[in-house]
Amino acid sequence: MSLLEVKIPPMGESISTGVLAKWHVADGALVKKDQPLFELETDKITSEGTAEAAGKITFKVAAGSEVKIGQAVATIDTAATGQAVDPASKAPAVAVAPVPVAPVAKEAAPAATVAAAPAPVAKESPAPSKSAPTAPPPPAPVAPPKIAAPTPAGTRQTRRKLSPLRQRIAQRLVSAQHEAAMLTTFNEVDMSGVMALRAKYQDDFVKKNAVKLGFMSFFVRAVVHALREVPALNAQLSGDTVVENHYYDVGVAVSTEKGLMVPVIRGCDSLGMADIEKAIGDAAKRARDGKITLADLEGGVFTITNGGIFGSMLSTPILNPPQSGILGLHAITERPIALNGQVVIRPMMYLALSYDHRLVDGKEAVTFLVKVKQAIEDPARLLLSV
């Protein structure tokens, strides 16, 4: 027998423990090399552990247990290459003896006849006197009202422990509100230009790049354009020091079953629309599949979050520390607006920019949002950088 230990892999210097949320295979099953074995939840990411070799796996840790980095949670017998044996098949067969059937008698014995005792006859009561008053019949007893039995508490509530990732998200959200002087400014954008551009070139774009042209790539490019125009939003505070960033790594929030994650798209200033769409799609898939890494979530200078895909009309997004700004996108709805002195119907979206007022003034925040609005309403600006 050759046993290979399955250990919790290193997840980064700041992560020392996690929770083995669930096993993807059964105890005693045959696994293949690189097959996903378990799901690990930490305070920063959720990831999967895979098999380093093929063989029969034996668990050492149950699902839901807290584990340490480097801890052995199972072993794989690499010498076992046959079919997995069902434990039920190991039980010895039990011979079942035939149950003897009693012979049936040719003639049934006559049933014993039991004489029924005559029922006693009640004597007749004398007829009541005509002059004697008749007593009223007693009222029928009233049944007490039915009181529903109390519902057991277990059927009205369920309790579960907050996952490490969800705990970390909660801590970061509260910390962001306590530590930053957070303020939100709003604007609205006419999406007609972008929608017309997508409708005109979508088929050609898909044929050439094998990916759809979405709205997010326009907003990523618009944010890069606005960051260049208003560099205060591309800076962050470190104690009493202002750190100015001269690169454009933009985080795009992704909703997963485990919570919100913000994978970072690197070098957005040098990426084309197709490259941005592919990078966002790949990052979102890896985040939802639990294959995102800690390095994928670090180093962003600005974040974009899109609540509009869930129908949100307006919100105030919370900063993603240590960043100084986050742009919230919302649902596109047709609304009447005034255009050139006339009321027209246009597909409109509300934009919300939350920023750290310790570092960014209101004028800079409003200017940034106006630059985003101008770039979206006139996409040619993104090509000409004006």
Q: Please list the rounded mean pLDDT of every run of 10 residues in the chain (386 residues).
A: 86 78 92 91 80 92 89 91 47 40 42 42 46 56 64 76 77 84 96 95 95 95 96 93 96 86 94 95 89 87 95 93 95 95 96 96 97 94 72
| Lookup: tokens for 162 | 């907050």
Look at residue 148 in the predicted model and tell me its pLDDT. Answer: 63
Nearest-5° Cα angle at 31, 28 to 36: 110
HEC string of 40-86? Answer: EECCCCEEEEECCCCEEEEECCCCCCEEECCCEEEEEECCCCCCCCC
Look at residue 287 in the predicted model and tell me its pLDDT. Answer: 87
Look at residue 13 in the predicted model and tell me its pLDDT. Answer: 63
How far apart CA 163 and CA 212 sit, in angstroms, is: 35
How far apart, in Å, are the Cα atoms of 231 and each of 39, 260, 263, 301? Answer: 40, 27, 22, 11
Look at residue 117 in the predicted model and tell me its pLDDT. Answer: 42
Q: Which domains does the chain have, with CATH numbers?
A: 3-83 (2.40.50.100), 164-384 (3.30.559.10)
Nearest-5° Cα angle at 266, 49 to 362: 120
How far apart CA 16 and CA 3 sit, in angstroms, is: 25
Look at residue 144 in the predicted model and tell me its pLDDT. Answer: 64
Is 24 annotated as catalytic? Answer: no
Look at residue 315 in the predicted model and tell me its pLDDT. Answer: 94
How far apart CA 368 and CA 355 sit, in angstroms, is: 11
Q: One of 249, 269, 275, 357 is an active-site residue; which one?
A: 357
Is 27 annotated as catalytic? Answer: no
CB neighbourhood size of 213 (10 A): 22
42 touches 114 (CB < 8 A): no
Look at residue 308 in the predicted model and tell me its pLDDT. Answer: 92
